[in-house]
Chains A and B, each alone.
Chain A
Amino acid sequence: MRLGMVIDLKRCMGCYGCQMSCKAEHGTPPGVFFSRLLKREEGRYPTVRQILLPVLCNHCSDAPCVEVCPTGASHYAEHGVVDIDPELCVGCRSCMMACPYSNRYFNVDQRNYFGDAGPTPYEEMRSARHTESTVMKCNFCKDRRAEGKDPACVANCAAKARFFGDLEDPTSIVSQLIKDRSGFVLHPESGANPNVYYLAP
């Protein structure tokens, strides 16, 4: 089984729900976004197009981040998920320089969103569990998967633009969508072999 995601850019309307649901799910510290939405413009007025591009870790099959990691903290977990073991990570940040998709973040220190006012009860419960001075990223919502749930960003997407499943199973929704609508990956030239696919807007 190789877990992967498909993001249908035709359905996505750029609501940032994925970015936010991921933040809330993981209590990521300020400035850390396992999931992000990018907005870009293509073309000139009046034939211009807004490109709304949600990104996350691609759980690459040939992940440069795993390759460069000196400690093995970045590793292939089961079903092709690329994960970071905070116990092993020494915070050298080579992986951040290696990920062609800039989807890794360094958790400098235990900051919280209201600054001097201190952590909220939520942050005490959720954000405090992150290891400081290590690199963080999306783990395809490991804990949710263990509970049999879809990743937070998938389950919440109001446009139902995100799909999650087994890329090795040709009958899975993700495999079907990639086949039927010629799914593509970002920066195929990187050689990382991403497992997050996109469908054309």
Chain B
Amino acid sequence: MKMEDVGALKQHKEGEIWEDKWIPSACTICYGGCSILVHKVNGTVVKIEGNPKSPVGSGRLCAKGISGIMFLYDPHRVNTPLRRTNPVKGIGVDPGWKPISWDEAMDEIVTRLEKVRAEDPRQLVLQVTTTLAPSSLVFFPFGWAFGTPNMWVAGGGVHCGNGAHASSGVTHASWSIVPDFKHCNYAIYFGASKGHGAGHAATPNISLAADARERGMRMVVVDPMCNFAAAKANEWVPIRVGTDAALALAMANCLVNDLKIYDAEYLRDRTNAIYLTRPNGKYARDPASGKPLIWDTQSASVKPHDDPAARNAALEGEYLVDGELCQPGFARMKAQLRKYTPAHAEKITGIAAATIERLAREFGEAARIGSTIVIDGVTLPYRPVSAIFFRGAQGHKNSMYNCFAIDLLNHIVGAADVVGGTLGFNPVCHGHPDTGKPYYTPKVDRDGLMATGAWMLPHVPYPPADPRKPDSIGLIEVFPLSHVSPLMASSDQEHWWKQFKLPYRPKFMLNYGANSVMSVGNKEAVVESLKSYDFIASFDLFLNEFSDFADIILPDASYLEVVDPRPNFPFIFNHPAGQGEWGWPIRQPVVEPTHERRSARDVMLQIAYRLGLGPEINMGVNAYYGLDGEQMLDPDKTYTIEDISDHELKHKFGPERGLEWFKEHGVITWPKRVEEVYWRTFLDVRIPIYHEYLIELGEQTGKICQEADMSYDPAYYGPLPEWLPCHAHEEQDGSFDLFAFYYRDAIQANGFTMENPWIDEMARIDPFSYRIAVNADTGRRKGLKDNDVIYVETATGRRVTGRVKLTEGIHPEGVGIAACAGHWSKHQPIAQGKGVFFNDLLEIDFAHTSPVNLNLDLCAKVKVGRHEAAAT
């Protein structure tokens, strides 16, 4: 409370209502950033509702969003900076926190950072939580200003995005994909929760998906568990964990080879299916320009891909080019797919061959290839089918191929970013009518293929950067299709740093919220890596399992106490896709931070200024926010987050719409145009269905790996997706007979919502939230009774325990665990001991990592049984 409020309080009589306001802002309990209206009476928040004026949620919130009051007022929050008094760090070892002043904390951090920077700035590691992804922007400019490449989002990315974002970036210019709910008639979900309480734009998608169901969209959910998406599906297809590529490739095979259903026009005009490929897999190129060639059927000759003759290009056949027999990418794909027969897929996925054939046929027929529809007076291709995936399908060692294989189904039938098909999340924006900002659109890049118009990170997925010797501790320079790396906290990191001759070691970590001890993998590995730091400073709302390894804790202000000019930008991240409105909301403090809490981003700016990095960070912010002209930050001035927000908003929406305007209005909206939504038809860009660039990329990556004695398997770098098994599929010991996996609980957001007593109460009543789901028959065969305490154990001896929920709604070989629970920190007494810590089953090392995009393998072969210790 501000001083004047306290004064005001004194003057008010008992029972008098002296304040009654609804303040527009944005939720951040998950990264969805739904627009909210906060009801404040006499200084107290009494209700959080959705903001009906904003398309981000349209006035409706999920249960977590409503529960924000209980985060705000949680008496267990950190309220002052804390310093450890016990130098020993370990799980369960009390750091002996002692309150200190902000001055003391800042002095120590700045002094240490100066030293680190003087030695080698790369020793600084910035770790942020995905939960705050849209708000973590100051952290990245800070990293650039400081000169470190070491930034990551803890479990984020390596669990959820390295495959999906890279793949969707390459083919949909977007962070993620979703069915065009308004027009789609047939959607297949491969381990994704779009419209069922998780994923991007989690809550806005709920009503879009409900509309689609009501309209009659058929939804087929391929998932080991009949949880949220499958509960609402027309058909649940239980799949063996991690085998999605085998299914998708078999469906693709049925479509192109058996049923001969494919959109030749789309493939010819919008993809590289026509690019001629040589026997070595690479493009046949024009010797003069280096451009990939196509075969012009009219002139029976090769032409560069961008020649108008591409309209007559061959999709099939073999052509002699420079003495080599070359084939269009499509022909190669067709041939390669032949080995993925439904019978082959049945063995791998456990799904009957006949079912696979039927799904392929239904998908192909529902695509209505060749049909068009008129939208807003424009005739557009109409392909009302969609195949989507997210965390479930991509969280495996063969992450990249899983994603490409599933997305291929969309491209085969031409259902990509057209009416009714699979949409990226808003890859095109022409800006507000008054200012034309923000403006971005995909463009033609290397070899005529598409590069994204907007991206969350500086390095885009296509064209991938050239692999080079690593600069960062995560080795992401070697694997340019990754954006974060589990090697930031792996058990074998030191080994690889030595092998790659990394000239420095991480020493100082600044953490913004992430609870990496729990969110990455087994705790031992993460803890070992954390222990090697000289110093860790962490901004958080609570003390958690990670805090036990920090040296200084900084009490952050929560999302209801801070300002953020862009909780939903870039729109490719979590703004609802499809037709409708654009909405740019802001986040603003609904109450002033109490105690010693301070906005982490302001603190970061102050640290930067004290380090003398003012010009660098201001320019970094300019680059990140795209600020130019009058709204560009002056390198020589100092700013607060409020100032920067004002610049950013004026830059996008004109000088009259600065922070003050937005604080009053909360959100600005304007209609989406058909060229923005169904942009594919309007833009002359191609996307790869034949990922030729992977060959070259793999060769380069392989060379660097070999120098460091890192195993390199070219099988992962083929231009066409393949089915490759995870470690779990290769487990030899037959007593480990089940596959453990986790899934998002609609009522939890990653790892910290269990501390919210309203959510915890809900989760305790829910049959699944805190329990281990095991197939009822499987459980009975193993002598388990519902609610028994069971163990789940891997071949490497990793083990978790929890209560079992015997259910009919899970694959007989599956062990499903919700969320990221099982907290042990005593500082979160409500969360403590609730639910199951799935990640303790996961290995974190290069062997369990996708060698293309560094996604961690998130499935584990396990056995389960009654936990005898608990039986008494």
Given a CB threshold of 8 Å, the question of whether A touches B is answered with yes
Q: Are A156 and B60 interface neighbours, CB within 8 A?
A: yes
A114-B75 in contact given A14-B746, A15-B747, A20-B63 (Cβ < 8 Å): yes
Q: How large is the interface on A (under 10, 10 to 19, 20 to 34, 35 or more residues)?
A: 35 or more
Q: Does B320 sit within 8 A of A, measured CB to CB? A: no
Q: Are A25 and B809 interface neighbours, CB within 8 A?
A: no
Q: Which residue in chain A gives the minimum CB-CB distance to B57?
A: A158
**How near does chain B come to A173, taking the closest CB pair, in angstroms?**
14
Q: Are B776 and A13 interface neighbours, CB within 8 A?
A: no
CA distance A27 to B44 in the complex (A): 13
Q: Does A117 sit within 8 A of B, measured CB to CB? A: yes
Q: Does A194 sit within 8 A of B, measured CB to CB? A: no
Q: Are A120 and B73 interface neighbours, CB within 8 A?
A: yes
Q: Does B206 sit within 8 A of A, measured CB to CB? A: yes
The residues in B between 6 and 63 inclusive whose CB is less than 8 angstroms from any CB of A are 41-50, 57, 59-63
Residues of B within 8 Å of A113, CB to CB, are 70, 757-758, 761
CA distance A126 to B226 in the complex (A): 38
The residues in A between 5 and 62 inclusive whose CB is less than 8 angstroms from any CB of B are 8, 10-17, 19-21, 23-25, 27, 30-31, 36, 39, 41, 43-46, 48-50, 52
A156-B75 in contact given A14-B228, A48-B809, A50-B230 (Cβ < 8 Å): no
Contacting A15 at CB < 8 Å: which of B57, B70, B197?
B197
**How near does chain A come to B529, taking the closest CB pair, in angstroms?**
34
B210-232 to A contact mask, C-beta < 8 Å, 1/0: 11011000000000001110111
Q: Does B209 sit within 8 A of A, measured CB to CB? A: yes
Residues of A within 8 Å of B63, CB to CB, are 15-17, 19-21
Q: Which residue in chain A gives the minimum CB-CB distance to B830?
A: A114
A41-B49 in contact given A11-B213, A121-B73, A157-B60 (Cβ < 8 Å): no
Q: Are A45 and B206 interface neighbours, CB within 8 A?
A: no
**How near does chain A come to B83, taking the closest CB pair, in angstroms?**
24
A122-153 to B contact mask, C-beta < 8 Å, 1/0: 10111000000000000000000000000000
**How near does chain A come to B746, taking the closest CB pair, in angstroms?**
5
**How near does chain B come to A96, taking the closest CB pair, in angstroms?**
18
Q: Does B331 sit within 8 A of A, measured CB to CB? A: no
Q: Are B214 and A10 interface neighbours, CB within 8 A?
A: yes
Q: Are A30 and B775 interface neighbours, CB within 8 A?
A: no
Secondary structure type dominating chain B contacts: mixed
Chain B residues with a Cβ closer than 8 Å to the other chain, count:
63
**How near does chain B come to A13, taking the closest CB pair, in angstroms?**
5
Q: Are B67 and A24 interface neighbours, CB within 8 A?
A: yes
Contacting B812 at CB < 8 Å: which of A20, A43, A45, A160?
A45
Q: Which residue in chain A gives the minimum CB-CB distance to B44?
A: A121
Q: Are B206 and A159 interface neighbours, CB within 8 A?
A: yes
Q: Are A50 and B231 interface neighbours, CB within 8 A?
A: yes
CA distance A186 to B473 in the complex (A): 59
Q: Which residue in chain A gives the minimum CB-CB distance to B67?
A: A20
Q: Are A159 and B207 interface neighbours, CB within 8 A?
A: yes
Contacting B69 at CB < 8 Å: which of A10, A52, A122, A155?
A122
A120-B203 in contact given A10-B213, A44-B808 (Cβ < 8 Å): no
The residues in B between 72 and 90 inclusive whose CB is less than 8 angstroms from any CB of A are 73-76
Q: Does B373 sit within 8 A of A, measured CB to CB? A: no
Q: Does B238 sit within 8 A of A, measured CB to CB? A: yes
Q: Does B307 sit within 8 A of A, measured CB to CB? A: no
Q: Are A41 and B50 interface neighbours, CB within 8 A?
A: no
**How near does chain B come to A21, taking the closest CB pair, in angstroms?**
5
CA distance A188 to B400 in the complex (A): 53
CA distance A126 to B46 in the complex (A): 7
Q: Does B416 sit within 8 A of A, measured CB to CB? A: no
Q: Are A24 and B236 interface neighbours, CB within 8 A?
A: no
Contacting B807 at CB < 8 Å: which of A41, A114, A126?
A41
Q: Are B775 and A45 interface neighbours, CB within 8 A?
A: yes
The residues in B between 227 and 249 inclusive whose CB is less than 8 angstroms from any CB of A are 227-228, 230-232, 236, 238
**How near does chain B come to A153, taking the closest CB pair, in angstroms?**
10
Please give 4 more A-B residue pairs, beta carbons under 8 A apart, in addition to A19-B762, A158-B206.
A36-B765, A49-B226, A113-B757, A117-B75
4 closest cross-chain pairs (CB), A and B = A120-B73, A50-B231, A20-B63, A113-B757
B residues at A contact (CB < 8 Å): 41-50, 57, 59-64, 66-67, 69-70, 73-76, 195-197, 203, 206-207, 209-211, 213-214, 226-228, 230-232, 236, 238, 746-747, 757-758, 761-762, 765-768, 775-777, 807-810, 812, 830
A residues at B contact (CB < 8 Å): 8, 10-17, 19-21, 23-25, 27, 30-31, 36, 39, 41, 43-46, 48-50, 52, 113-114, 117-118, 120-122, 124-126, 155-161
**26 sample A-B contacts, Cβ–Cβ < 8 Å, listed by A number:** A11-B214, A13-B197, A16-B746, A17-B60, A17-B61, A19-B63, A20-B63, A20-B66, A23-B66, A24-B67, A24-B758, A39-B766, A45-B238, A45-B776, A48-B809, A50-B226, A114-B74, A120-B69, A120-B73, A120-B75, A122-B44, A122-B46, A156-B49, A156-B66, A158-B62, A160-B60
